[in-house]
C-alpha cells in the first residue's frame, strides 16, 4: 500500500485482512472510517479522495494489527452493545451480541418497577448499562475484580449519562453486595483453561481472566451458584450465560445448590446458552 485514494486503500486493506476474517471488506471500512473520524457513508461518497501519507501509514498499521488477529473493537476502541456505544480496551472482554439476549431475558422476567439487580463480572459494563438504559427505576450494582475493567465500565456509564442508577464495586463476585438483590446476572468466564480456542480467533487478545475458568470451564459458575443464594431475595432470579455445550451441567450445578425452577434458554442461533433459576427461601 504505497499511496492512493479511499477506494484503492480500502480494496488493498480488505485483501490483506481476508485471511483473518470473512468480513474483510466491512472491517477495512470500519477501520478506515474510524481513522478518518467519519462514518462509513463518507467512504462511499468520496472514494476518489487521496489519503495523506500519515493517514496511509496509520491505516497500514491497523491493517497489520488486524492481520495478526487483533479484534477490530480493540483497534477502534469501541463496540456497540444494545445500541449503546461502549468504550473497550484490552482490559475488558469485547461484549458479544448473544449477551444481549441475557439482557432481554432479565427485561422479560423481572417487573418494571424498582428492582435491585447486580451484574457480576461487568467488564465494559455492557449488561448493567443496557439494563439501566431500559429500566430507569432499577438500581444496578456492577461488580468486577479487575480495577482496570471497572474504570472502563465507569467511563462508559459517565459517557452515557447512566450514573444515577449504577453503583460500581470492586471485588470477588457477590462479596461487595450489601443488600439482597431481586436478580443477579452474570456472563462469567466459562472456557476450559486448556481449550485451544483461547489461543486463536482473537481470544488471545482478550483478558484470560475474563474467559477461562478451570479444567472444565465451570469453576466460576460453581462458585457463583453456591454464593449468590445468600445475596438474593426469596424467589430472586439468577440469570447466567454459559458455553453452548454446558447447559445440562450448569442446570445440575444450580439444582444441587438448591435453586428452584431451573430452566435453560437458547440464543437466536438455537444454541443452549442461558440458564435462569429461582433462589430458594
Ligand X SMILES: C[S@@+](CC[C@H](N)C(=O)[O-])C[C@H]1O[C@@H](n2cnc3c(N)ncnc32)[C@H](O)[C@@H]1O
Note the Cα 98 to chain centre separation in Å.
9
Decide if residue 176 touches ligand X (CB under 6 A).
no
Minimal distance, residue 61 CB to ligand X, in Å: 27
Q: Interface with ligand X includes 29 (CB under 6 A)?
A: no
Rounded to 5 degrees, what are φ and ψ at 75? -75, -35
Element (H, E) at 262: strand 260-266
User: Minimum Å distance from CB 93 to ligand X?
Assistant: 4
Binding track over 72-101 against ligand X, x by CB under 6 A: ---------------------x-x---x--
CA distance 126 to 149: 11
**Applying CB under 6 A, does 106 fall inside the site for ligand X?**
no
- Tally of CB atoms within 10 A around 83: 8
Dist CA 232 CA 276 (whole Å): 13
Min dist CB 257 to ligand X, Å, is: 17
Number of residues in the chain: 281
If one asks whether residue 228 binds ligand X (CB under 6 A), the answer comes out as no
What CA–CA distance (Å, rounded) separates 154 from 87?
10
Alpha carbon 212 to its chain centroid, in Å, reads 15
**Number of shown-chain residues binding ligand X (CB under 6 A):** 22
CB of 36 to ligand X, least distance (A): 28
Rounded to 10°, the helix 24-36/6-17 angle is 130
Q: Among 73, 149, 237, 250, which residue interacts with ligand X (rule: CB under 6 A)?
A: 149
CB of 95 to ligand X, least distance (A): 4
Q: What are the residues whose beta carbons fall under 8 Å from the beta carbon of 264, sequence distance 6 or more?
A: 247, 250, 251, 272, 274, 275
When binding is defined by CB under 6 A, the residue of 121, 217, 236, 243 that contacts ligand X is 121
Binds ligand X by CB under 6 A, chosen from 133, 209, 219, 278: 209
Residues forming contacts to ligand X in the complex (CB under 6 A) are: 93, 95, 99, 121-124, 126-127, 143-146, 149, 172-173, 187-189, 209-210, 220
Amino acid at each position: 500500500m504505497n499511496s492512493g485514494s479511499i477506494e484503492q486503500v480500502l480494496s488493498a486493506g480488505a485483501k490483506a485482512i481476508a485471511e483473518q476474517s470473512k468480513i474483510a471488506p466491512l472491517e477495512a471500512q470500519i477501520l478506515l472510517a474510524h481513522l478518518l473520524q467519519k462514518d462509513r457513508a463518507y467512504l462511499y461518497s468520496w472514494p476518489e479522495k487521496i489519503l495523506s501519507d500519515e493517514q496511509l501509514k496509520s491505516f497500514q498499521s491497523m491493517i497489520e494489527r488486524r492481520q495478526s488477529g487483533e479484534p477490530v473493537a480493540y483497534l477502534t476502541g469501541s463496540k456497540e452493545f444494545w445500541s449503546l456505544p461502549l468504550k473497550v480496551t484490552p482490559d475488558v472482554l469485547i461484549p458479544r451480541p448473544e449477551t444481549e439476549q441475557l439482557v432481554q431475558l432479565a427485561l422479560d422476567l423481572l417487573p418494571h418497577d424498582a428492582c435491585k439487580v447486580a451484574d457480576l463480572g461487568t467488564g465494559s459494563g455492557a449488561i448493567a448499562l443496557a439494563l439501566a438504559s431500559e429500566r430507569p427505576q432499577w438500581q444496578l450494582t456492577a461488580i468486577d475484580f479487575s480495577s482496570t475493567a471497572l474504570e472502563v465500565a465507569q467511563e462508559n456509564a459517565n459517557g452515557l449519562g447512566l450514573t444515577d442508577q449504577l453503583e460500581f464495586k470492586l471485588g470477588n463476585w457477590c462479596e461487595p453486595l450489601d443488600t439482597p438483590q431481586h436478580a443477579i446476572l452474570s456472563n462469567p468466564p466459562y472456557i476450559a483453561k486448556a481449550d485451544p480456542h483461547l489461543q486463536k480467533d482473537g481470544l488471545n487478545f482478550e483478558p484470560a481472566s475474563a474467559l477461562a475458568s478451570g479444567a472444565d470451564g465451570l469453576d466460576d459458575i460453581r462458585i457463583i451458584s453456591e454464593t449468590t443464594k445468600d445475596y438474593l431475595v426469596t424467589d430472586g432470579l439468577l440469570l447466567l450465560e454459559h458455553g453452548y455445550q454446558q447447559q445440562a451441567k450448569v442446570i445440575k450445578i444450580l439444582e444441587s445448590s438448591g435453586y428452584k425452577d431451573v430452566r435453560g434458554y437458547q440464543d437466536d442461533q438455537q444454541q443452549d446458552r442461558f440458564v435462569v433459576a429461582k433462589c430458594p427461601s
